[in-house]
Amino acid sequence: MSFITRRKPIAAPVHGDGQHRLKATLSWPHLVALGVGAIIGTGIYTLTGIGAGLAGPAVILSFAIAGAVCAFAALCYAEMATLIPHAGSAYTYSYAGMGELVAWIVGWSLILEYTVVCSAVAVGWSGYAQGWLAAHDWGLPAALAGGPGAGGLVNLPAVLVTLVVTGMLLVGTRESATVNFILVIIKVVALAGFVILTLPSFNPAHFHPFMPFGFSGHEDADGTKRGVMAAAALIFFAFYGFDAISTAAEETKNPSRDLTIGIIGSMVICTIIYMVVAAVALGASPYDVFSKSGEPLAFILRELKHPLTATLIAGAAIVALPTVIMVFMFGQSRVFFAMARDGLLPRGLAAISSRGVPVVVTLFTGVVAAAIAGFFPLKIIAELANAGTLAAFIATAVAMMVLRVQAKDLPRPFRTPVWWLVGPLAVAGCLYLFWSLPFLTKKLFMVWNLFGVGVYLLYGRKHSRLAPAE
């Protein structure tokens, strides 16, 4: 059988020797909190300002478009996660639906996505942390406040928070999920406070002109891509995170019920929160003012003469944004773990500690994410993460459609409604968002995957569990 097309059977057993089997310790409240913890983060606390700078008040439309694409993808994920409740997310689904080579490319893209997301959120967290420190006259030296692109040497706060979260994940899965649950509550309460305080200052005039940079993405003379779709391609980063829930499928007590609630529930909750917060932010301050701040929500509150609340909002971001790093680092380690368990990466990477944690891949993810966060700016990191995510979303939608045709009689605890429409819409929406990314981002993504194919041909192809015995 050709290595390109060999598929992992859907009913393939999970390799259950003690060292390579994850423990089922999570229920649906943990999964909803994982999703909310991943989705509500840098996207609303930081990217709201960057997106407004790219699309103006029409950034609300950008949120709606990105959210709609993610909703279609979420429905596909819900079906695949309950059909194949194993670690690995889109990588595992692609393995069953489209073959080993496609699965490798998707898994390699997921490694890029999750690692880079951790870095992006760490940089966003650093902006709030430094704003809070500066407000208390504890500002850091310029050399330690940002990477080379920001006029410094290294973004030290971003590095430190990434390493701290790595340490928390090493403690254990259920323990990490419980901490995440508490921090998510803090985060949502802080955003509710922002909405309540800014509503009295809502000014409809801030929404005119509504679409100053047009709809489709176009590049300025300085190379910046602007427009509703350009912002949507970036803001897309703000919505995904529900896919990280699917990486926890193997650690879920009742996958058929809990995964559906976790994926769909977190998307609905977060979409509502995003739209409300973005609307009141635009109503309270002109987009071209708050878009220049690295901590836009706290900036708006300071402009409205709520300095204490601004400090509390920034404090909530400082406390709660690490939940996003935690969830995505969790997801990356599980994808890495699944690929190693299948033999496509060295199997030693799939070793599990007594606490049910894949220690080696978690440490590796933390160190690499910390290095990226220390030296690269937020915009480039977020766009590169989006490329990997879009590839995974497309793969999951295609795998769902392929298996609907080729394995139509399989029991599906959750079935994507009107799959023949939702699946193509998810693929088309993701392709359009991918096309709207800057050329440099697409180029870096292709280089990463060409390198990945080389790794597969040299190692994974021969060591795969599905490879014929020599």
Instruction: Take residue 224 and report the two structure tokens written for it.
Output: 């910046």
pLDDT at 275: 80
Q: Of the given ranges (12-21, 188-197, 300-309), which has the lowest mean pLDDT?
A: 12-21
* pLDDT exceeds 80 at position 150: no
pLDDT tens by residue, 239-289: 777 777 877 777 788 877 888 888 888 888 887 888 888 889 999 999 888
Angle in degrees, CA 90, 94, 100, rounded to 5: 125
On the CB side of 343, CA atoms within 13 Å amount to: 13
Average pLDDT score, the chain: 83
Q: Quote the tokens at residue 189.
A: 């309460």
Q: pLDDT tens digit string along 286-313?
A: 988 888 777 788 888 888 888 888 877 7
CA pair distance 467, 292, nearest whole angstrom: 53
Given a cut of 60, whether residue 16 has pLDDT beyond it is: no
102 band by pLDDT with thresholds 50, 70 and 90 = very high
> What is the Cα–Cα distance from 145 to 139, expressed in whole angstroms?
9
Report the DSSP beta bridge partners of residue 26. 252
Domains of the chain in start order, with CATH, are 26-463 (1.20.1740.10)
Q: Indicate the SS3 state at residue 106.
A: helix
**Mean local confidence (pLDDT), 348-368:** 82
Comparing 427 with 409, which gets the higher pLDDT? 427
Q: Which position has the higher pLDDT, 350 or 418?
A: 418
pLDDT, greater one: 349 or 165: 165
The reported pLDDT for the residue numbered 51 is 85
pLDDT class of 423 with cuts at 50, 70, 90: very high
